[in-house]
Amino acid sequence: MLVSRLSEKRITMGFFSWDCKECDHPLLSPYSTNSINGWMNSAVVIESNGSILKGSYDGYGRVGMEEISWEDSEPCCYHEACWEKAGKPTEYRPSTPSSDQGFFFDEGAHNMEAPL
């Protein structure tokens, strides 16, 4: 069955992500971006302890070379462009884990132009 094969693939592939607090689209892994939404790979993450991480999201919980701490509390995630547009907020507000894991979505689902 197609559905069970897909869920098996999700577990094996292990991709996960969070939705941006500003635009509600997920941080996208570099393997799932296209020429329109490549900017959704650049992330700014505020952890519950106030640390701010910036860089490319790898699809597996790392921004730049840094591991996001998320076991105890969901991180506060923005696309870098959305974060700048929002006035570079530093307040911690937990993000929602992305239902499509930032990877398993229909072609075009996140085709939004950068806000800046």
Size of the site for Zn ion (CB under 5 A): 5
Only one of the segments 1-9, 22-30, 45-53, 59-67 lies at the binding site for Zn ion (rule: CB under 5 A); that segment is: 22-30
82 binds Zn ion (CB under 5 A): yes
How far from the centroid of its chain's Cα atoms is residue 42's Cα?
9
78 - beta bridge partners?
A: 44
23 binds Zn ion (CB under 5 A): yes
Rounded CA separation 25/11 (Å) = 22
110 binds Zn ion (CB under 5 A): no
Only one of the segments 16-24, 69-77, 93-101, 106-114 lies at the binding site for Zn ion (rule: CB under 5 A); that segment is: 16-24
22 binds Zn ion (CB under 5 A): yes
Q: Give exposure, 68-95, as e/b (b: 16+ Cβ within 10 Å).
A: bebeeebbbbbbbbbbeeeeeeeeeeeb
Choose, by CB under 5 A, the member of 29, 42, 75, 79 that binds Zn ion.
79
Residue whose C-beta lies closest to Zn ion: 20
Rounded CA separation 115/91 (Å) = 21
Go through the chain and tell me how many residues it has: 116
The nearest distance, CB 78 to Zn ion, in angstroms, is 6
Please tell me whether residue 51 adopts helix, strand or coil conformation: coil
Interface residue list for Zn ion (CB under 5 A)? 20, 22-23, 79, 82
